[in-house]
A and B are shown apart, each in its own frame.
Chain A
Amino acid sequence: MTNCIEVKGLVKEYKTFTLGPIDLQVPGGTILGLIGENGAGKTTLIKSMLGITRPTAGAVTLLGTDPDHAKEDIGIVLDDCFFSEYLRVKDVETVLCRVFKTWDKGLYRDYLDKFGLSGTKNIKELSRGMRMKLSLAAALAHRPKLLLLDEATAGLDPVVRDEILDEFLAFVSDEDHAILISSHITSDLEKVADYIAYLHQGKLLLCDEKDRLLESYGRLVCTRADLEQVDRGYLVSTRKSQFSTEALIRRRGDFQRLYPRLTVEPVTLDELMVFIVKGEQA
């Protein structure tokens, strides 16, 4: 299994924010979910990988080559629709079929039909959800090998989101394909992602297989007195309120064997983020 994305020591410096250094690998046939709070650097990372914004340091290899040479095989959806409101849905094809050598007119029309988009409709008339669907149709119609998606499912209703997630799973059934998707809808990522990378204030805090992450971390719900007795080596962070005490623990299996009396629940990606950002570091 070759890597579709390889990021080594990527750094992007701004006056008030620094992204990185980031090291990341996405093998073919997999989906990497990028999570992080607003302003964590997710969009900057995607833009830096594509050379839209120039990295200060580091190297990026996409589909085994440099990003400029890989763009023909990359589909991209960023957090908004980039097609002018003055265009019609079918104009997108008129433009992009001359940009991508591999543009498939039939496939584009299939996606339009699937997403309920009329070619004659003005983009101005489309809702945010419909615009995202249009962006997705445009990203998929040139048969890319790599999809870079920034909040691509935002603003979509659950039914359409589910359809699109199925589309992503079908896409990565080919071992040469991969997806990097950033999303705040972590339930979507729990459904489809193979790997999770967690960006916080420009730094990559976690990057691992999703199943391993969700299995190895857990949420301990206990009393303050119980928490005091716990080996600090297991604790990642804690949240204490007047009514409850919770802690994010690592090596859940070992912990449960060591403390069978204490309740440890599986953790969701949302909880993982909240514990790391808002919890007290243990």
Chain B
Amino acid sequence: MTGLILKDFLILRKTLRTYLFIMIVYTAIAFSGVWTADIVGGLMVVVLMMLPMNIFAYDKQCQWDTYGLALPVGRTKTVAARYLCVLLLCVLSVALTAVLGAALYAAGRVDEPVEFMVTCSVMGLMSVLVNAILLPFLYKFGPERARMMFFGIMGGIFLLFVVALLPLGGLDWLKTLEIAEPTFAQAVVVPAAAALAGLVLLAPSFLLSRHFYGNQDI
């Protein structure tokens, strides 16, 4: 299983370097004051949504699945390796975002470090949620179709959200909400709860992916 996780990281090597560069550029822009530091967390979610799609697309390009099933690993472990890889990517991305946030804080560009930590955790959880939904789609339909379907679903959810807010005054209503600054205790609890929630979300997703992959004729 370690071999398969390593394989995913090795084929992403170049992509990861590019994303790291983009994250640093965004941090630099946040440092200059054009954007707030929260943009780095937002970028993380987008990056973590793209990476698994890239892995599946690269695998499909070289028909790795056919070869992978000839290896002494088994279908369950193959899917588990992919989930562990995605989880590792999430953990590393959250850690990187926290480091970049710390750098911005040290430079005086983050006013509320506790709020940044909470935002970072919520973004991390969102990344896991996105992948928990996305991965079974990728196993069932392959990267091209899954990508289209996923964006369609996300677009639908956003549309529903906007429609639901219409009676309250639309998206502007969100600006009227007064959300209290998070306490230090919340800053400790939220990341822990986010990590736990992430694992809980991934469990049914893994079982679904395993089901799809187990029944697949390659």
A residues touching B (Cβ–Cβ < 8 Å)?
47, 50-54, 68, 71-72, 74, 76, 78, 80-87, 91, 94-100, 148
Residues on B with C-beta less than 8 A from A71 are: 70-72
**CB contact between A97 and one of B3, B11, B62 (< 8 Å): that residue:** B3
Contact flags B52-90 to A (C-beta < 8 A → 1, else 0): 000000110111101111111110000000000000000
Tell me if A98 and B14 are in contact (CB < 8 A): no
Beta-carbon contact of A99 and B4 below 8 Å? yes
Q: How far is the CA of A53 from the CA of B13 in the complex (A)?
A: 31
| Cβ-neighbour of B3 out of A47, A96, A148 (below 8 A) | A96
Is B145 close to A, CB under 8 A?
Answer: no
Taking the nearest CB of chain A, how far is it from the CB of B156, in angstroms?
A: 33
B6 within 8 A of A: yes
21 example contacts (A-B, Cβ-Cβ < 8 A) are as follows: A47-B66, A50-B69, A52-B69, A53-B217, A72-B72, A78-B66, A78-B70, A81-B62, A82-B63, A82-B64, A82-B67, A82-B68, A83-B62, A85-B61, A87-B10, A94-B3, A94-B6, A95-B3, A95-B10, A99-B4, A100-B71
Interface residues on B, range: 20 to 34
Give the nearest-CB partner of B218 in chain A.
Answer: A52
Closest A residue to B70 by beta carbon equals A76
Instruction: Judge whether A53 and B218 touch: CB under 8 Å.
Output: yes
Select B218's contact among A47, A87, A98, beta carbons within 8 Å: A47
Bound-state CA distance A99–B67 (Å) is: 12
- Asked if B2 lies at the interface with its beta carbon under 8 angstroms from chain A, I say yes
A74: contacting residue among B11, B68, B70, CB under 8 A: B70
Contact A87–B11 (Cβ < 8 Å): yes
Q: Which of A47, A50, A54, A86 contacts B13 (CB under 8 A)?
A: A86
Q: Which of A51, A76, A94 contacts B67 (CB 8 A)?
A: A76
CB contact between A95 and one of B7, B13, B70, B74 (< 8 Å): that residue: B7
A138 to chain B, nearest CB (A): 9
Residues of B within 8 A of A86 (CB): 10-14, 58
